[in-house]
Chains A and B, each alone.
Chain A
């Protein structure tokens, strides 16, 4: 089975722009979660989608949004980019939702905001 894929792998944007990141889960997985990884804040949970519905959300401003499509692929959007949004954005997929699920991570999208 193919693993979780994320596109693009690298991205450079300027402050004020917006960006959309894409995540394709493992075939058959219906849950996709997104994370932000920075040297300062570490790994933080952004949100979780299951069957096209946002199930849970971390403590991030409304500039961060996402959606999931009927084929379980997910996109994450960040509007009005700030320098502090520079990070590695990881997505992970799983068969089920909930607190004890086993997740499979993609390689991440590295975003640099100038």
Chain B
């Protein structure tokens, strides 16, 4: 069994300030973890993924995430927010070595103020 909890439904930041989007997961197996971004009326775009290699994962557009097994967390961060980062973000867990049955978090809406 697996589940994902995105701890904040909305996060509001000012342009140029750091971004933190929180994700906790549970999995009976060795997980693969993903962060996706969805801009309005668009499909999802992969930001980064963790697949049991390095625990600090760097993604596109300056985003990164750290896999912390002891805390069952996979939080997404960015040092400096840009207006174009305003979007919906989804954390996803799958079973890394097995069947593809993903579980999505409910999403976090990132609002960026000028």
Contacts and interface: CB of A to CB of B under 8 A. Distances in A.
A11 to B, nearest CB: 15
A55 B101 CA distance: 10
Contacts of B32: 99-100
B7 to A, nearest CB: 15
A4 B100 CA distance: 19
Given A33-B100, A42-B104, A55-B100, A100 B43 contact: no
Instruction: Among B36, B41, B44, B94, find the residue whose CB has the most chain A CB atoms closer than 10 A.
Output: B44
Interface string A87-110: 000101000011111111111100
Contacts of B51: 100
Given A100-B49, A100-B51, A102-B49, A56 B100 contact: yes
B106 A42 contact: yes
B101 A58 contact: yes
Contacts of B107: 42-43
A60 to B, nearest CB: 12
A55 B99 contact: yes
A92 B44 contact: yes
A42 B49 CA distance: 20
A99 B43 contact: no
Interface in B17-54: 32, 36, 41-46, 49, 51
Contacts of A98: 97-100
17 contacts: A42-B106, A42-B107, A56-B100, A58-B101, A97-B100, A98-B98, A99-B32, A100-B49, A100-B96, A102-B46, A105-B36, A105-B43, A105-B44, A105-B45, A107-B41, A107-B42, A107-B43
Interface of A: 4, 33, 42-45, 48, 55-56, 58, 90, 92, 97-108
Interface of B: 32, 36, 41-46, 49, 51, 90, 94-107
